[in-house]
Amino acid sequence: MTQELELIESVLAGNKQAYAQIIDQYKNQLYALVLRMTKNPQTAQDFVQEIFIKVYQQLGKYDNKGSFSSWLYRVAINYCMDEFRKKSYQMKQVEIDDEQVINPNNPEIVFLKKEKSRQLEKLIAMLPEDERLIILLRFVNELSYQEISELLTISISDVRNKLHRAKKKMRMTVKQGGYFYELCEG
């Protein structure tokens, strides 16, 4: 049994400290995903808190058929989409500070990486919501096509097509030879 499953079973048995470990393990990844969906740091923080409450309440529904992280992302995406629909939420464009998304203890954060991240964020923000979400799940959260397909309840071919279209749109906005030359390569 994996450590993750042991933590889940411990939480279900009433150990709240085990849930704190789950939160610590996933809070940065979940915040990054939600921040990119909402484009608002305060809203993202609020949503993440609510998502962790919802996950705690629904932890018994996790069936161990896929990875826990995929299940957690699905809960988060569903929560965000529900909130967007409920409140006719309008996503606002705000400048995202890399320090909010990337672990601030990482000594490898340098100026060029920050600049590249900012430019990439702008490119991603221009995409339609469905394509933006697939790009984020694939390249930020490093999910497989199969996991994305399960999360979004679309076929693997739809995942591939939307990913291809998103990359094509991004390529069209980038001048060859710039920071994102690698996007133009494939």
pLDDT one digit per residue (tens) for the chain, 186 residues: 478 888 888 888 988 898 999 999 999 989 988 888 887 889 899 999 999 999 999 888 888 777 888 888 889 988 988 888 777 544 444 455 555 555 555 444 455 566 666 777 777 888 888 888 888 888 877 788 988 888 888 999 999 999 999 888 888 877 544 445 444 444
Place of tokens 């279900």: 12
| Token pair listed for 25 | 């393990």
Domains of the chain plus CATH, in order, are 1-94 (1.10.1740.10)
Give whole-number Cα distances, 70 to 31, 100, 145, in Å.
Answer: 15, 22, 12
Cβ within 8 Å of residue 45, ≥6 positions away = 31
For residue 109, the model assigns a pLDDT of: 44
104 vs 183: CA distance, rounded Å: 27
What six digits make up the tokens of 122?
A: 């702008």
**CA distance readout (Å), 2 to 14, 56, 67, 148, 158:** 19, 19, 11, 22, 32
Contacts of 50 (CB under 8 A, 6+ apart): 79
Whole-prediction pTM: 0.57
CA neighbours closer than 13 Å in the CB half-sphere of residue 37: 26
CA 127 from chain centre, in angstroms, equals 15
- DSSP secondary structure code for residue 138 in this structure: I
**Residue whose C-alpha is closest to residue 185's, from 173, 172, 171:** 171
